[in-house]
Amino acid sequence: MDALEALPIMQAIYNVVKDEVATNKLGNTRNHAEQTLRDMFEQTGGQVDSIKLQVNGETVGALNATKKEGVTVTDQHLLGEWLQENGYIVHRHAISLSALDDEQTHELIEYAERRWPELIRDFDDVDESWQDHIGHVGSTVIDSNGEVIPGVEWRTTIGQVRISGCGWAADPKKRTSKYAPVGDALARAGLGFGQVMGLLGGE
């Protein structure tokens, strides 16, 4: 099979599966699988961070999550009050354009005030440095004075989710693998490649 014949076949396969395995699309197959892992992670207090991926009872891969620790906001209102009381709400008078340095931003504001005063807005913003001065005891978050910060908890949450395994055929470069090839598992289940693609394509 030459490239001109192989390309349309590969493109057709790609068109069937690309949206279902995309990492940034809500409601697709990968999103549902990742949500299952996230639910198990929450229900077990972070003890489960990996689940097996199986075809016909055979383990062909795994869904693995990295863990991250940090502040989780549980009550935005309470946290907002604490930030206000402790000086972490700063009043800004600016056009927020990250590409500009301070001098350019200042000059732009002065010009805009004269030319387009309706574009200038005063607003309050959170000084994110507040998180540089905190600690935690268990799930309780405290400031540098040992006072409890309301509206937040210290939690271990899921970071990135990755898939391992899930190869169609055995890798000849590896003598052994803890995962069965997907193609072999499907064959043992009596499903050929064409039948699987039909199922995935909604036929």
Q: What is the pLDDT of residues 20-30, one digit of tens each?
A: 888 878 888 89
Q: What pLDDT, on the 0 to 100 scale, is given for residue 148?
A: 93
Per-residue confidence (pLDDT) for residue 96, from 0 to 100: 57
With a cut of 50, list the residues of the chain below it in pLDDT: none
pTM value is 0.59
pLDDT value of position 15: 82
> Three-state SS string across 64-112, please?
EEEEEEEEEECCHHHHHHHHHHCCCEEEEECCCCCCCCHHHHHHHHHHH
- pLDDT of 40 reads 92
Per-residue model confidence (pLDDT) at position 151: 92
Q: What is the pLDDT of residue 91?
A: 78
SS3 call for 184: helix
**Which runs of E-coded beta strand occur in 140-185?**
140-143, 152-165
The pLDDT score that the predictor gives to residue 89 is 87
Give the helix ranges, DSSP H, for the chain: 3-21, 29-43, 76-85, 102-115, 182-188, 193-200
The CA distances from residue 145 to 88, 100, 111, in Å, are 15, 36, 43
Q: What is the pLDDT of residues 147-194, one digit of tens each?
A: 999 999 988 888 889 999 888 887 777 666 789 888 888 888 888 777
What is the C-alpha end-to-end distance of the chain, expressed in Å? Answer: 26
